[in-house]
């Protein structure tokens, strides 16, 4: 897939910076959507499942239109750069996974990363790490897809669509709250925020 400059610029503006994680998500979302044969999701018809909550997910939200707010983005905390894209009502889903070694560091960069983590890095360490990241981003944006990603059609069970629940008013704070997120205390119905405050207080 050819790099779309203006789309990438908009994505970087949305995320706040251009980093290796964002580049991975950018390539993964492009690959997944192309394989699925869909463009950006206007509503909930497209579903994405992500197995990490790092920078890459912002690219998935931006490119696929699968967002936390619309309820068509699902997070499984598996710590993997793995992304599923599927259409509601469609049979197939696409699984996109980052290949091993794509993000591996040369030993010298690993040592620099350790020094940065322990606060012992020199200015030249920081420069070298920044340069390595810049080169990595470049590589991630330009490398052939097969080199970066494993893309496959799979069958998965989709999480149920987002539901809208009735609101009630909390008897403590007087604020509206989703009925399924309340508890009864005696004859009062209270929200979880008030319940938490009472536990801590």
Shortest Cβ 38–Zn ion spacing (Å)? 25
Residues 6+ apart with CB under 8 A from 66: 41, 46, 47, 48, 60, 72, 73, 85
Provide the binding-site residues for Zn ion, judged by CB under 5 A: 19, 21-22, 55, 170, 172-173, 191, 194
Residue closer to Zn ion by CB (options 112, 170) is 170
Residue closer to Zn ion by CB (options 16, 159) is 16
The helix-helix angle for 123-142 and 107-117 (nearest 10°) equals 120
Residue closer to Zn ion by CB (options 69, 174) is 174
Shortest Cβ 57–Zn ion spacing (Å)? 10
Shortest Cβ 54–Zn ion spacing (Å)? 8
**Do you know the residue count of the chain?**
201
Shortest Cβ 83–Zn ion spacing (Å)? 16
* Token reading at 159: 């999480």
Residue closer to Zn ion by CB (options 76, 172) is 172
Give the separation between CA 39 and CA 45, rounded to whole angstroms. Answer: 11
Give the separation between CA 82 and CA 91, rounded to whole angstroms. Answer: 20
């Amino acid at each position: 897939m050819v790099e779309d400059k203006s789309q990438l610029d908009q994505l970087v503006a949305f995320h706040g910076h251009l980093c290796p994680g964002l580049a991975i998500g950018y390539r993964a979302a492009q690959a997944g959507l192309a394989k699925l044969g869909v463009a950006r999701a206007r509503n909930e018809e497209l579903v994405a499942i992500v197995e990490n909550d790092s920078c890459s997910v912002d690219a998935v939200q931006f490119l696929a239109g699968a967002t936390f707010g619309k309820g068509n983005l699902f997070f499984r905390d598996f710590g993997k750069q793995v992304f599923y894209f599927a259409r509601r009502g469609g049979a197939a889903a696409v699984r996109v996974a980052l290949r091993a070694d794509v993000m591996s560091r040369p030993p010298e960069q690993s040592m620099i990363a350790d020094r940065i983590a322990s606060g012992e890095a020199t200015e030249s360490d920081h420069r070298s790490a920044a340069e390595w990241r810049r080169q990595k981003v470049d590589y991630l944006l330009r490398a052939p897809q097969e080199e970066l990603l494993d893309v496959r059609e799979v069958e998965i069970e989709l999480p149920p669509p987002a539901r809208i629940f009735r609101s009630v008013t909390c008897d403590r704070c007087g604020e509206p709250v989703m009925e399924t997120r309340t508890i009864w205390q005696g004859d009062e119905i209270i929200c979880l925020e008030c319940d938490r405050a009472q536990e801590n207080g």
